[in-house]
Structure 1
């Protein structure tokens, strides 16, 4: 099977969109359903990639795409994003495949710019009547906001399970029960992961699809429209509502057999293929000129997420485990006023699907980070390593200036044995375990030593958003992240620090229960003059880092 390549492009309005691209041949654009990401399209792309180049976009607000900067975006606004990508990458005219919400986006794109679209292939097309639409808008899309008590985590698992039990998901009862399914546990978990990536932004595209007048574009469209729906799709009965609307619209009913589904979609794409012949690499190369501050860097272990703040001299930031680069957003924003703060996610964290399970040692991890640093051209930049990432930073070649912040793992030998099991379970306990790992990390030091007198200094404002970002990173990284955490926790970085010959400062958090012990350890590695105490809060930490970088 051909390789899936990924990139992030910056749109004309300043937002970023993730693309996944696979295959070679005539181009086809694939648009996913809500609340998924382009990860939901990989199965279809795998069937098409031998003959076609599949361009899969995370709809704005989902996956790794930024939400649209609109208070109430409509389907027409999402369609404009697809058309901008087709235009700026010079792909058209192309067939556009869309599933559910993606189907509405696809047909609207054909209405807006028929010269860019050769045909539209709709895998489940919603046509709600007024009563159905009003009920969905009123009850189907409750806010999904982080909480400190984890109630949003329990709600999410229940929401996804109910989605595969009844339609609408919020009407549990015999009259709403689906006549098929549910899918396997790993599929439930994949939907949860995409839901976490979207967060509360999931409501925007969903609501736009519910408000959309699905009849009207089918009457106006001047390109072939193929509505092909499986009998185990909740929108199967909707297909008949489109019968006779236009001579351009064809209907195809399919059984639940996935082989029939794949062959039908392949036939429709083949019969309506455009004339642009490209492979995945060529499209990724074209997209390289559209990069912004949010990027995916290709490495030998898969894509690594990078975020860049500011335009000054570069400084590289590596986050702790558990955690992700979002936790460094506040520090990076302040450093970005005088530097170019480059936040590099550890391999397999903050990007989904996760990197292949080939990173067996800390040295392997360091090699991937060095690869990213090289591709970004910041080899001479100072490095700031937070927490467990000290193990990686001390293995990086040629680092002239290293600042280690809170290397707590170096005096917490038991932590590698306390990493929780987050293997998916039908009762959702894996999400609860991930949440409490993230929450206890903010309250105790180390997180598994849950004694109140050893609690961290957290002030009076434990952030639900920060906690949720860490929880999300744990879930996204999955088993790969657990393995990486255990490796980092077991690593003794003292020898590398002592042998460095200078250029290293260590910062410890005043008020943390391990502050004195960690300071003593740090003095033994780099000397008292290079050990500094500071509050864990963002502003004083950023100010100290700026001073050490000066």
Structure 2
């Protein structure tokens, strides 16, 4: 039986900053901190496996996934201490005292800095790859590793993004095309690259703040005599940080670092270490917001936002996303759209949502004009990232014609420059990419629902 991953939102009491987190399993809490520029989604498979031993809690770090970014101070991006303190503030708001923790690459950097600031918060750490950059490596990274990332009017940024995420597994760093920079773990795993692209689109240019803080962070391991919880650092063959194991220097007595052969060996060693040293306390009730969350519809998670107890359910158009709800309203991402799981039978899911919310009215969107076959072309990620450009060009055409595929004077709509601004194009293209084939199925469902009225 697959262990269910649930999703939650928690607004921190002092700042109001929203943190999105995933939860899976039972038993003592294991905090899992993802690498940059990813999100907690990268841990889903691992959470299902480790959820047999722990209550796995994986937040999106500030500015990534669905979590708000940290506030700027004097116009400057926050440093690593800000991200470490944000992690501890999340644990406080969640109602968690001491727990075990796991982090991969930059997630490990955040955790080590959190341990140095609040060692009592953690029973143990397991880390996958810990970077100890030389001064020259830091200089190179500072100049080229984190370029600005903004939507461009004609989608050029998407071509860069696809290749950056794909080729990061071929060479490291991603811009170093020397033979010496080749990696042994090269792949062209389309779903894996598409997931990383999606997470980068969520972060936008905010990725530079979170990733930059990690790259600028001091790499000082706690002193040999420091009173810190046990820690295991491992790195596998092909991981560009495996050679950094030799750079760690002398470690605290309860710390050790090892090179291992495979990603599976790293995960197995990490799990064994966490089980040996992790806190044995059971998981307390965990806090979450009352005005946003996910409804479990027989294993299908549906994202909702609005007023608890609202009687009116507001639905968005195909290839769209959750609309901001008004007074006495609650809105959802339709199955397969936005932050909701996909489901073959949309009407059954809607019935479960209505029952869960105790809603009595459903506000349907206007049905888009056009043939569903042409309105919703295939958005399946492909080897060359062409689906990204397809979505972007549709977003542009939507500002000129209705339906968008009918480029004729008859289908022309009044031009609104706002709809052609890169931010607006980005929002529509991203929503269409997320929806994929679910957009056509929602359109067809709307047709059926309209016929019954």
**Corresponding position of 2:129:** 124
Pairwise CA RMSD of aligned residues? Answer: 2.6
Output the CA distance in 1 between the equivalents of 2:105 and 2:446.
44
**Cα separation, partners in 2 of 1:495 and 1:55, compared to 1, 3 Å:** closer
Instruction: Report the CA distance between 1:173 and its aligned residue.
Output: 2.4
1:167-195 C-alpha deviation (Å, 9 max, x unpaired):
11112221211122225221111111111
Equivalent residues of 1:109, 1:117 under 8 A apart:
no
**Corresponding position of 2:368:** 408
Q: Is 1:155 paired with 2:115? A: no
Higher mean displacement: 62-71 or 291-300: 291-300
Output the CA distance in 2 between the equivalents of 1:467 and 1:383.
28
Q: TM-score, normalised by structure 2?
A: 0.90
**For 2:241, which of 235, 238, 242 is the aligned residue?**
235
Equivalent residues of 1:23, 1:50 under 8 A apart:
yes
**Corresponding position of 1:521:** none
**Cα separation, partners in 2 of 1:478 and 1:494, compared to 1, 3 Å:** closer
Output the CA distance in 2 between the equivalents of 1:458 and 1:77.
44
**For 1:429, which of 372, 379, 386 is the aligned residue?**
386
1:401-421 C-alpha deviation (Å, 9 max, x unpaired):
xxxxxx334xx3x22354211
**Corresponding position of 2:315:** 318
Higher mean displacement: 434-443 or 135-144: 434-443
Instruction: Report the CA distance between 1:365 and its aligned residue.
Output: 4.4
**Corresponding position of 1:350:** 338
Q: Is 1:300 paired with 2:298? A: yes
**Residue correspondence of structure 1 range 326-475 to structure 2 within 5 A:** 328=323, 339=327, 342-351=330-339, 355-357=341-343, 359-360=344-345, 362-371=346-355, 373-374=357-358, 379=359, 384-387=363-366, 407-409=367-369, 412=370, 414-461=371-418, 462-475=420-433
1:252-288 C-alpha deviation (Å, 9 max, x unpaired):
11102x432332121011111102213xxx64xx32x
**Residue correspondence of structure 1 range 152-191 to structure 2 within 5 A:** 152-182=157-187, 184-191=189-196
**Cα separation, partners in 2 of 1:307 and 1:218, compared to 1, 3 Å:** farther
Instruction: Report the CA distance between 1:245 and its aligned residue.
Output: 4.0
Q: Is 1:487 paired with 2:444? A: yes
**For 2:54, which of 52, 60, 85 is the aligned residue?**
52
Equivalent residues of 1:243, 1:251 under 8 A apart:
no
**Cα separation, partners in 2 of 1:371 and 1:259, compared to 1, 3 Å:** same
**Corresponding position of 2:40:** 38
**Cα separation, partners in 2 of 1:372 and 1:126, compared to 1, 3 Å:** farther
Instruction: Report the CA distance between 1:211 and its aligned residue.
Output: 0.7
Q: Name the SS of the counterpart of 2:26 in structure 1.
A: strand
**Cα separation, partners in 2 of 1:371 and 1:64, compared to 1, 3 Å:** farther
Equivalent residues of 1:67, 1:201 under 8 A apart:
yes
**For 1:90, which of 95, 117, 120 is the aligned residue?**
95
**Cα separation, partners in 2 of 1:17 and 1:445, compared to 1, 3 Å:** same
Equivalent residues of 1:318, 1:386 under 8 A apart:
yes
Equivalent residues of 2:11, 2:17 under 8 A apart:
yes
Equivalent residues of 2:318, 2:443 under 8 A apart:
no
Equivalent residues of 1:101, 1:205 under 8 A apart:
no
Output the CA distance in 1 between the equivalents of 2:309 and 2:412.
37
Instruction: Report the CA distance between 1:209 and its aligned residue.
Output: 0.3
Q: Name the SS of the counterpart of 1:196 in structure 2.
A: helix
Output the CA distance in 1 between the equivalents of 2:149 and 2:227.
35
Segments of structure 1 that go 5 or more residues without pairing to the other structure are: 388-406, 497-550
Q: How many pairs align? A: 446
Segments of structure 2 that go 5 or more residues without pairing to the other structure are: none
Equivalent residues of 1:22, 1:45 under 8 A apart:
yes
Equivalent residues of 2:295, 2:302 under 8 A apart:
yes
Q: Is 1:247 paired with 2:245? A: no
Higher mean displacement: 316-325 or 27-36: 316-325
Output the CA distance in 1 between the equivalents of 2:274 and 2:142.
33
1:285-316 C-alpha deviation (Å, 9 max, x unpaired):
x32xx41654333333522223349x998764
Instruction: Report the CA distance between 1:31 and its aligned residue.
Output: 0.4
**Cα separation, partners in 2 of 1:455 and 1:293, compared to 1, 3 Å:** farther
Output the CA distance in 2 between the equivalents of 1:341 and 1:18.
22
1:457-479 C-alpha deviation (Å, 9 max, x unpaired):
23233232122112112222344
